[in-house]
Amino acid sequence: MILNDEHKKALLLLGCPEVPVQTSLAIYISDLLVKSGASVIIAGNNAALELVRTADPAGHYIRDTADLDATIGALSEKRVDADICYVFIHNDAGVSYLATAAALISGEAVGIIFGNDAVTLAQQCDDAGLEHIRARAVHNPKPIISKVNMEVERWAASNS
Amino acid sequence: MGCVEQLNYEILLSKVRFKECSTFISSNFDEYYKIQPGYRMMNVFIIGVPPIYVAVDGDNIIFPYTKPCHGTFVLTISSPEEVKKIKTMGELVK
């Protein structure tokens, strides 16, 4: 897990890959971040990472990947840090990962909330004081894409 | 980094929301501590929405454990070493 110190460091924490939009959202956000000049690590469990790697077999969009548990350990022990961490949330566990990332990194942690329970999960994030964007996207990522575009543009502009 | 599967644990609560785990621990144990996200417990790192509670019952330590696909569990493991550590590093709540 090596990050180029010349670039801003972005970390994507994937959730359980049971909601279809997650994989394409991860590749999409990674591409936006790379184009903004960031180096990107995508962390997830084996299934989530295999979906991402399989969707980008030539590695045009995905550079570095890492095991989710190992990444949490590395963040906790300060061996890894991030300027921005986007946490993919479609269940209660995702909110826990966002709260953990927010506590462990020196940069910003923002939840990307999607799926059928987006409203409830967004409320949980609000209650915990966690930043997020949300849309009820399950199979079709379209409802959340414009919000993702604005969010990455916001972060990139704040760091330019 | 290891996995909780390598530990000899017992499940007290299974596949629930994190908040339910916090309520379970604070309601069922006489001695519990507050920890920060990322606290290392043996070979796993605890995640969650603060306040994260870890209880002590004799030589047993009781803690929340979250999996991305399965929600949060409350586990208990016999570990005098971890009990000693939480008494030093945790913030006593009750």
Are B42 and B79 a contacting pair, CB within 8 Å? Answer: yes
Task: Assign 3-class secondary structure to B55-94.
Answer: EEECCEEEEEEEECCCEEEEEEEECHHHHHHHHHHCEECC
pLDDT of the residue at A5: 54
Q: Does residue B5 belong to the interface with chain A, where contact is any CB pair within 8 Å? A: no
Mean pLDDT, residues B26-52: 95
Q: Cβ–Cβ of B68/A75 closer than 8 Å? A: no
Nearest to A12 by CA among A158, A157, A151: A151
pLDDT of the residue at B5: 73
Q: Cβ–Cβ of A67/B48 closer than 8 Å? A: no
Q: Which DSSP string corresponds to B27-44?
A: HH-S-EEEE-TT-EETTE
Question: Average pLDDT, whole number, for chain A?
Answer: 94
**CA gap A14, A86 in Å, rounded:** 9
Question: Average pLDDT, whole number, for chain B?
Answer: 93
Q: Across the A/B interface, how many CB contacts are shorter than 8 Å?
A: 75
pLDDT of the residue at A7: 86
Q: Which of B45, B67, B70, B73 to mutate to test the interface with A (most CBs of A within 10 A)?
A: B45
Domain positions in chain A are 8-158
Q: Does residue A126 belong to the interface with chain B, where contact is any CB pair within 8 Å? A: no
Q: Which residue has tokens 């959730």?
A: A15
- Whether residue B43 is predicted with pLDDT greater than 90 in this model: the reply is no
CA A74 from centre of chain: 16
Going by the DSSP 8-state scheme, the letter that residue A120 receives in this structure is H
Q: pLDDT-derived band of residue B2, with 50, 70 and 90 as boundaries?
A: low
How far off is chain B from A92, nearest CA to CA, in Å? 6
Q: Which residue has tokens 């890959």?
A: A17
Q: What is the pLDDT along chain A (160 residues), one digit of tens a residue?
A: 444 457 899 999 999 999 999 999 999 999 999 999 999 999 999 999 999 999 999 999 998 999 999 999 999 999 999 999 999 999 999 999 999 999 999 999 999 999 999 999 999 999 999 999 999 999 999 999 999 999 999 999 998 7
Q: What is the pLDDT of residues B44-81, one digit of tens each?
A: 999 999 999 999 999 999 999 999 999 999 999 999 99
Q: Cβ–Cβ of B49/A67 closer than 8 Å? A: no
Question: In total, how many domains does chain B have?
Answer: 1
**CA gap A113, A68 in Å, rounded:** 18
Nearest to A123 by CA among B52, B2, B19, B9: B19
**CA gap A15, A94 in Å, rounded:** 6
The superfamily (CATH) of domain A8-158 is: MTH777-like (3.40.50.10160)
Q: Which residue segment(s) compose the domain that B74 sits in?
A: 4-92
Q: Does residue A138 belong to the interface with chain B, where contact is any CB pair within 8 Å? A: no
For residue B57, list its beta bridge partners: B60
- Whether residue B35 is predicted with pLDDT greater than 60 in this model: the reply is yes
Going by the DSSP 8-state scheme, the letter that residue A21 receives in this structure is H
Chain A residue with Cα closest to B36: A103
Strand ranges for chain A from DSSP E:
8-13, 38-44, 64-67, 84-89, 108-113, 131-134
- Give the whole-number percent of chain B exceeding pLDDT 70: 97
Are A30 and A62 a contacting pair, CB within 8 Å? Answer: yes
Q: pLDDT-derived band of residue B4, with 50, 70 and 90 as boundaries?
A: confident
Six-digit token pair at A12? Answer: 């994507």
For residue B34, list its beta bridge partners: B53, B91
